[in-house]
Structure formats: C-alpha cells, structure tokens
Amino acid sequence: MSVIVGKTVDVLDCYEGRDAAITFTLYLCCLLSGYYPRKSSMHKCLQRIFKRLEDARVVLRLYDDIAILRDFFTYELRPGERNNIVRFLKCLHYISWLCYYPSEHILWLGQMKMIKIDADLWDFYTNFFWASALLTSALWNAYVVLQYMTQKTYSKEKEEEEKKSFIPWTASRNAMLASIRDGTEFMVAVHYLPQGYLWASTLTYIQVGLFGTCSASLRLYALFKFQEN
C-alpha cells in the first residue's frame, strides 16, 4: 500500500503527472455528464467542473512553449528516428506545438479581455495546431512500431548492418502507447474544430469523455509503470 501511495505522490509531484491527472478528471466529468439530461443540475454541475479544470490546464500550459523550444533545439536522434519519414513527422510535430502555444496564449488573453481578437479565428488556430501535433505524433510513433515489427524479420547479416538504427523493445512499447494515446486525443481535438472538418462538432459528451479519459489513462499508466525515479 505504501508503495502505491509513494508512486502516486511521485507521479503527482511532477508536471506531467499533474497535467495527466487533471486531464483525466475533466474528461471523466465530461463522460459522466453525458449520462444526464442536458437541463439537469448534475449535467450542468459536471460541465462546470469540466470547464474550470480545462481553464486550469490552460494556465498550467502558459510557459510550456519554453520547454518545447528547448526540446526543438536540443533534439537528438534516437533509434527509429534516423528514418527520414520519422524525422519529417517529428519536425512537423514540433512546429505544430510551437505554433499551438502562442495561439493559445493569444486566445487566452482575448478571453481575459486584455487584447481585442477574433476569438473564433484564434480558437480555430489553437485547435488546428493541437490536432496537427497529435496526428503527427500518432503517425510517427505508429511508424516506429512498424519499423520494430519489420526488423524482427531481419537476418543476422541485416541486423548487423542496421545495428545503429536498431529499435529496442522499450522504444517500441513507448511508441505504441504514444500512438494510441495521441490518436484517441486527436479524435477530441478534431471535434473542437469548426463544423465541416471531418467529424468536428459531431461527438457527444460521452464520446468526447471516453476518448479523453482513454488518452489520459494511458499517460497516467505510462508514468506509473515506466517513470524513472
């Protein structure tokens, strides 16, 4: 019991863990609200909690662009990323995040009435770059998993030739989790785009909550299971 509590504290003590826990809670509220009539007090209460926690996440992300800049300029190739397709997708992924954070900051300042903006336009930019970042992440991680599966069929001679770019099981496992995690969150991101883009504005509260909680659960699982102390 003490081990579980200790691990929980370790996860919640880091930024990624707190963000994943808040994300899980807000999407769980959205999921549960879908089971109540929209005019019911319970539905409205759960949606208020959902909105407040969503606002909390925006505030937590105010300085994330600094971390993304650091990751972008200190990016080093790892096994599986020597492939040009993976490198291209990861580059697009970083660019999407680099565009996402300023867009969200501008939208937030507009919502606070500190600057005058076209809220709908900046909301579109924010959700578009969010969806782009998630899609590129899901695709590059899925490609890494595909590479891992392909290398298992290599002969010993081929393994020796490709030794530098050989993908270990741990990297493939992490890539598989990340692909599913970001793929499910991508479903939510597209939903928040203006109507007319794929399935935008068509998901129910239950569907949004389900995809969101699945994504957040995978983030928490990875932190509990594989985070190094």
Q: Tell me: the pLDDT tens digits for 176-198?
A: 999 999 999 999 999 999 998 89
Identify whether 167 is part of a domain.
yes
* pLDDT number for residue 9: 86
- Distance, in Å, from the CA atom of 37 to the CA atom of 35, rounded to the nearest integer, reads 7
Are 129 and 179 part of one and the same domain? Answer: yes
**Amino acid sitting at position 48:** R
Question: Do you know the residue count of the chain?
Answer: 229
pLDDT in the model for residue 168: 84
- Average pLDDT for 147-154: 82
| Structural element, H or E, at residue 177 | helix 169-191
pLDDT, position 4: 80
pLDDT at residue 159, as a whole number: 62
28 and 103 housed in the same domain = no
> What pLDDT, on the 0 to 100 scale, is given for residue 142?
95
Residue 158, pLDDT score: 65
Kindly state whether residue 158 falls inside one of the protein's structural domains: no
- What pLDDT was estimated at residue 80? 62
> Is the same domain home to 143 and 209?
no
pLDDT of residue 7: 82
Report pTM.
0.90
Same domain for 68 and 42, yes or no, is no
Query: CA of 132: how far to CAs of 46, 128, 154, 179, 211, in Å?
Result: 29, 6, 33, 14, 17
pLDDT at residue 229 greater than cutoff 60: no
> What percent of the chain shows pLDDT beyond 90?
61
- Mark whether 142 and 169 lie in a shared domain: yes
Domain range holding 38? 1-60+201-229
Does residue 6 sit in the same domain as residue 119?
no
Is 161's pLDDT higher than 70?
A: no
- The answer to the question of residue 99 being in a domain is yes
pLDDT digits (tens, 9 = 90+) for 24-63: 999 999 999 999 999 999 999 999 999 999 999 998 888 8
